[in-house]
């Protein structure tokens, strides 16, 4: 008899399935009988470069497949763009699954963690052009690279391999990983895969007509079944031996009792035909390894691909494997998740497993969709099998555990099955003292938006599950997450406090704030005087036993010659340091008392320290200043009721808290909670053009019309290459390749791009020797014997690309810097050209009206792009200029394809600009900035003195360059005044074209928000006006939420 396999615990799980980005959401969809198959979204067709006019097969699709937080993983944007979306999503899911297990990502570094990924076909490379070819493409689309990349970025040292067995690959990977755990090759396993389509064939493509449903829907076991449907999704699991999971008090989603894999061999009518005998052997083998009788299986998730012959063979195999039904038992219940989300190719088996896990956790059997009339070839009654058609309770025998199975079969004949069991009951916590004094909730990220999103997700999860123990939640947040630089924390004593704290912390993070000083900052304790008062010491002793014990310890250890006052003073401070150590905070840096400092460092006994505290010069000594960035803790400010708040404050300040010390001996469990919220940065190549339209002209052509003949030519050409390869905005001459995010691997692609664009062969060492754009261009020019030359007026914020450029007219300040971050976040392939004001640095008079500006700028626009369609994007006053430019172009017969108006309120009465130049300059420098000028102190000064004082203050604060001349400042304020007057005099007129309005969610000024929903644009635009809102106010929306604006513009484009 086959020995019973050691059970495997699923401790972590992350999913991205159609209409579901969590296990809880997927459960709700299954319970509601949701059909996620639909027409391919227009955005996906656009990403694929597919013809939206053709009909495509329906698909249960994912959203956001082009998004990836490349900065989180330290991957340059260009490299991320050349990574298969299946790789990117799998990497993020692997991190989410580890965090879902209640362990930080850093916990797997250096461990024998296995990474076993299900690999399948990748079609992403089909979207790439010759310009994309190179080492990065090889690494980004190679199936074998996926597990290696995950292992490299997470630092795991166990086996890392990819499996490809066809449709059954997911469960085969599970079987291999389970074997590694049982055999000791790995202590933990990360298993999963992602199936995402990058290209779409039109519906007339009938190459797979025998296995793919004409309607796109899988009707498993139904008379109308005509094949499977297409689906996308990703699943990653974290596995460990059940005994290890119980020991570590891990959350367990479900238990894998056994897995089995076999092949049809020659027992079928052909390579791709199913084998009844092989399926029977598979099921019996799996159940025998699990030590179960077939009758104990409450539900079986079938392969259920919806082919009439395949369904018949599978039902008969289930019946034969089970044997005669046990007396009094109902028919065996089967179903297929493919009826909900289509066939996920190599991830199909894992999708079925997730369905069974969700059913076990919620003790329900879900309906299998599209089953209205049984397959006439299948005698369900005789075979003792029935298809689940409604949501019913999943009942266990004798109140024991639930058991379920999941099958997955391959077109190549490899079959796999897994037996799942409900998780064992969690052991009770032990070791925690009664009268819990509370804890500290901690959330961190790599930016305030991520922190805000995590707070919101945690609050929703906790509010949705009253059964979660608050202490387990804090334990998981403290010990189960990496602690990143952007932090929020707050005291928690009950569930209501946790929910309210998350609400307040999320709201605060959403408002943003200064960047953190940095993590891992040591605490320097200062003892300037008495320390905690006697009253506060009594409060602390009453609430914290460790504090009371430390005070008593001092009283007992005090030598006879030490007076009571000294003992009391020393004990209050010593006990607080002891209390902080129980909160995992290093207290070895102390100043203000040599006695306390030496004892804190372990250099003296308590009695010796008390004796030393009586010396008259004790307060003059302490730890030497360690230098660096410290967090100061003043013991005179300690209060008896704010210890938790003090710990939270220290954590937020960057103090490294040892949370293992905090939770030692409490016996708290790890629970499944939402993990890190990745930034949705667009990472996608530009697919080849479907039509033969001429490429869009650019300020600098994608490929030079002539060889470079000067150093400036080389700088421009090299900047174009770096912009494309590194995916950054404008590259200044002193930009350092490595500081821009370049790597040695990416350098190979850069060298190939330089060779293709310029015909120049450089070596890798040339980039290391000449790291800046200016140096490398000079090296190339010197090698060719060329001299410098000059350039022209418009600003190529982002050069190169096959699409028509986006023109961005200046706001009232006259410059185009506000568009720089936005340009970096916009979809690839679109050049972005800034249109600065006349008069800033050219010695000309500023244009006096919006109409004059539009006339001038349309002429300049046509020098770059002679014919439409044109794309215009404007922010603030720039939106007014863009609107007038669109009117001019339309009146002259040119098509404006895109007009994006960002936060320009047409109903706002601007008022005349101030007469004094100093007041104008103050308005310009303080708008959207923390910089402030004490105008009261300027009242007694002359205008000349006021202006000089403002300039001096601004230069000292870094708001103006120190080298900026009086003439340059005068030109800037002159442009600002002209623009303010132009807006005041602008005569609004109608426009018939469509437009997109993007408004800030928050008004710029305090008080009631009386802005119109469309900011008044529909009064003038007769075409369709689409309105979107993004977080932030008029200024912060561009600085902090430019990616949200770029996403909207990307959809418009």
Q: Which residues carry out catalysis?
A: 167, 303, 343
CA dihedral over 563, 568, 570, 575, signed as positive or negative: positive
Q: State how far the alpha carbon of 832 is from the alpha carbons of 697, 798, 904, in Å.
A: 12, 5, 20
Q: State how far the alpha carbon of 717 is from the alpha carbons of 51, 112, 702, 709, in Å.
A: 33, 47, 9, 11
Taking alpha carbons only, the member of 124, 403, 95 closest to residue 234 is 95
State the Cα–Cα distance between residues 698 and 704, nearest whole angstrom. 11
Distances in Å between the Cα of 935 and the Cα atoms of 912, 926, 927, 941 are 19, 12, 15, 10
State the CB neighbour count (10 A cutoff) for residue 298: 22
If one counts every other C-beta atom within 10 angstroms of the C-beta of residue 517, the result is 12
Q: What angle do CA 23, 29, 34 make, to 5 degrees?
A: 150
Spatial separation of the C-alpha atoms in residues 998 and 989, rounded to whole Å: 20
Q: Hey, is 500 helix, strand or coil?
A: helix
How far is residue 513 from each of residues 390, 452, 1043, measured CA to CA in Å? 51, 12, 18
Provide the 3-class DSSP secondary structure of residue 996.
Answer: strand
Tokens 């469509």 locate to 994
CA atoms within 13 A on the CB side of 1030: 22
Determine the Cα–Cα distance for residues 378 and 312; give it in Å rounded to an integer: 6
Rounded to the nearest angstrom, the gap between the alpha carbon of residue 745 and the centroid of all alpha carbons in its chain is 24
Three-class DSSP category at 86: helix
**Closest-CA residue to 757 (of 702, 694, 687, 719):** 702
d(CA 954, CA 967): 16
Q: Can you tell me whether residue 1024 is helix, strand or coil? A: coil
**3 state SS of 486:** strand
Q: In this structure, are strands 486-492 and 439-445 parallel, antiparallel, or unpaired? A: antiparallel
Helix axes 495-511, 448-464, angle to 10 degrees: 150
Question: Residue 171: which H helix or E strand, with range?
Answer: helix 169-182
Token pair of 886 as six digits? 């669109």
* Strand order through the sheet with 896-902: 795-798, 832-835, 806-809, 870-875, 896-902, 995-1000, 1025-1030
Tell me how far apart the alpha carbons of residues 550 and 582 are, in angstroms, rounded to a whole number: 12
Q: What is the DSSP string of 766-821?
A: HHHHS-BHHHHHHHHHHHHT-B-----SSEEEE---SSPPEEEE--TTS--GGGHH
Q: Which long-range contacts (CB under 8 A, 24 or more apart) does 51-57 make?
A: 51/202, 51/690, 54/202, 54/203, 55/202, 55/203, 55/204, 56/200, 56/201, 56/202, 56/203, 57/200, 57/201, 57/203, 57/212, 57/216, 57/230
**What angle separates helix 966-985 from helix 850-864, to the nearest 10 degrees?**
110
Rounded to an integer, what distance in angstroms lies between the CA atom of residue 140 and that of residue 935?
A: 57
CB 239 within 8 A of CB 256: yes
Gap between the Cα atoms of 729 and 975, Å rounded: 26
Nearest to 615 by CA among 624, 604, 627: 604
Does the N-terminal peptide bond of residue 869 adopt cis geometry, omega within 30 degrees of 0? yes
């Amino acid at each position: 008899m086959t020995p019973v396999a050691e059970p495997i615990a699923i401790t972590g799980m992350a999913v991205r399935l159609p209409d579901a980005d969590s296990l809880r959401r997927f459960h709700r969809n299954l319970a509601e009988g949701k059909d996620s198959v639909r027409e391919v979204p227009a955005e996906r067709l656009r990403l694929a470069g597919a013809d939206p006019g053709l009909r495509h097969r329906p698909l249960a699709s994912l959203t956001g497949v082009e998004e990836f937080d490349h900065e989180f993983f330290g991957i340059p944007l260009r490299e991320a763009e050349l990574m298969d979306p299946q790789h990117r999503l799998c990497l993020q899911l692997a991190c989410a699954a580890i965090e879902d297990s209640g362990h930080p990502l850093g916990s797997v570094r250096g461990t024998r963690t296995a990474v076993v990924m299900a690999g399948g076909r990748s079609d992403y490379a089909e979207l790439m052009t010759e310009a994309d070819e190179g080492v990065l493409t090889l690494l980004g689309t190679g199936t074998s690279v996926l597990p290696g990349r995950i292992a490299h970025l997470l630092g795991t040292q166990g086996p890392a391999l990819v499996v490809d067995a066809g449709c059954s690959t997911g469960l085969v990977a599970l079987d291999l990983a389970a074997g590694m755990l049982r055999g000791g090759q790995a202590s933990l396993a990360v298993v999963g895969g992602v199936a995402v389509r990058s290209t779409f064939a039109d519906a007339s493509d009938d190459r797979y007509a025998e296995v793919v449903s004409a309607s796109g829907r899988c009707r498993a076991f139904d008379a109308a079944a005509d094949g499977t449907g297409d689906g996308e999704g990703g699943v990653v699991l974290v596995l460990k031996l059940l005994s290890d999971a119980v020991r570590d008090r891990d959350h367990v989603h479900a238990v894998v009792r056994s897995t089995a894999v076999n092949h049809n061999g020659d027992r079928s009518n052909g390579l791709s035909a199913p084998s009844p005998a092989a399926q029977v052997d598979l099921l019996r083998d799996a159940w025998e390894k699990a030590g179960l009788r077939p009758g104990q299986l409450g539900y079986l998730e079938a392969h259920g691909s919806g082919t009439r012959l395949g369904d018949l063979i599978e039902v008969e195999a289930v019946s034969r494997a089970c044997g005669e039904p046990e007396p009094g038992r109902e028919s065996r219940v089967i179903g297929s998740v493919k009826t909900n989300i289509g066939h996920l190719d190599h991830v199909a088996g894992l999708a079925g497993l997730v369905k069974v896990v969700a059913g076990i956790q919620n003790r329900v059997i879900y309906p299998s969709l599209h089953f209205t009339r049984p397959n006439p070839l299948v005698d369900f009654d005789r075979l003792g099998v029935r298809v689940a058609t409604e949501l019913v309770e999943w009942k266990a025998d004798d109140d024991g555990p639930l058991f379920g199975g999941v099958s997955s079969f391959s077109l190549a004949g490899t079959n796999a099955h897994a037996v799942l069991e409900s998780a064992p009951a969690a052991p009770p916590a032990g070791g925690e003292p009664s009268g819990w004094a509370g804890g500290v909730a901690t959330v961190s990220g790599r930016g305030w938006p991520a922190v805000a999103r995590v707070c919101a997700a945690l609050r929703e999860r906790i509010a949705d599950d009253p059964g979660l123990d608050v202490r387990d939640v804090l334990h998981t947040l403290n010990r189960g997450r990496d602690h990143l630089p952007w932090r929020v924390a707050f005291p928690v004593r009950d569930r209501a406090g946790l929910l309210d704290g998350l609400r307040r912390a999320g709201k605060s993070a959403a408002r943003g704030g200064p960047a953190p000083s940095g993590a891992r900052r040591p605490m320097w304790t200062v003892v300037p005087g008495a320390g905690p008062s006697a009253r506060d010491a009594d409060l602390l002793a009453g609430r914290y036993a460790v504090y009371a014990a430390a005070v008593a310890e001092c009283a007992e250890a005090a030598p006879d010659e030490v007076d009571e006052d000294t003992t009391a003073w020393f004990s209050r401070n010593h006990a607080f340091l002891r209390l902080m150590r129980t909160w995992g905070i290093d207290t070895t840096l102390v100043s203000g008392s040599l006695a306390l400092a030496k004892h804190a460092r372990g250099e003296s006994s308590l009695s010796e320290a008390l004796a030393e505290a009586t010396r008259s010069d004790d307060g003059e000594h302490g730890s030497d200043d360690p230098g660096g960035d410290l967090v100061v803790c003043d013991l005179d400010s300690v209060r008896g009721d704010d210890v938790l708040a003090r710990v939270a404050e220290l954590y937020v300040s960057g103090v490294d808290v040892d949370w293992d010390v905090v939770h030692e001996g409490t016996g708290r469990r790890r629970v499944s909670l939402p993990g890190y919220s990745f930034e949705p940065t667009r990472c996608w190549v530009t697919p080849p053009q479907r039509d033969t339209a001429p490429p869009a002209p650019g300020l600098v052509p994608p490929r030079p019309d002539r060889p470079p003949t000067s150093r400036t030519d080389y700088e421009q050409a090299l900047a174009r290459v770096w912009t494309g390869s590194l995916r950054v905005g404008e590259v200044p001459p002193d930009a350092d390749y490595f500081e821009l995010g370049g790597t040695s691997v990416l350098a190979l692609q850069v060298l190939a791009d330089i060779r293709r664009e310029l015909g120049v062969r450089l070596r890798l060492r040339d980039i290391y020797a000449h790291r800046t754009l200016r140096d490398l261009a000079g090296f190339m020019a010197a090698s060719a014997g060329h001299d410098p030359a000059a350039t022209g007026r418009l600003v190529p914020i982002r050069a190169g690309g096959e699409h028509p450029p986006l023109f961005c007219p200046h706001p009232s300040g006259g410059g185009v810097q506000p568009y720089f971050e936005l340009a970096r976040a916009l979809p690839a392939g679109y050049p972005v050209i800034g249109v600065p004001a006349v008069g800033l640095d050219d010695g000309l008079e500023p244009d006096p009206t919006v109409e004059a500006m539009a006339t001038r700028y349309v002429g300049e626009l046509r020098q770059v792009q002679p014919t439409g369609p044109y794309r215009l994007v404007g922010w603030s006053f720039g939106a007014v200029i863009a609107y007038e430019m669109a009117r001019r172009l339309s009146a002259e017969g040119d098509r404006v394809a895109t007009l994006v108006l960002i936060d320009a309120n047409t109903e706002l009465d601007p008022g005349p600009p101030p007469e004094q130049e100093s007041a104008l300059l103050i308005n310009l420098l303080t708008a959207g900035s923390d910089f402030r000028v004490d105008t009261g102190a300027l009242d007694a000064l002359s205008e000349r003195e006021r202006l000089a004082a403002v300039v001096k203050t601004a230069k000292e604060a870094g708001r103006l360059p120190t080298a900026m001349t009086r003439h340059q400042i005068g030109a800037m304020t002159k442009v600002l005044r002209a623009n303010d007057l132009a807006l005041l005099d602008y005569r609004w007129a109608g426009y018939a074209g469509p437009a997109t309005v993007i408004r800030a969610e928050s008004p710029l000024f305090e008080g009631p928000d009386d802005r119109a929903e469309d900011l008044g644009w529909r009064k003038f635009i007769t075409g369709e006006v689409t309105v979107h809102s993004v977080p932030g106010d008029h200024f912060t929306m561009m600085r902090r939420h430019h990616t949200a604006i770029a996403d909207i513009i990307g959809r418009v484009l």
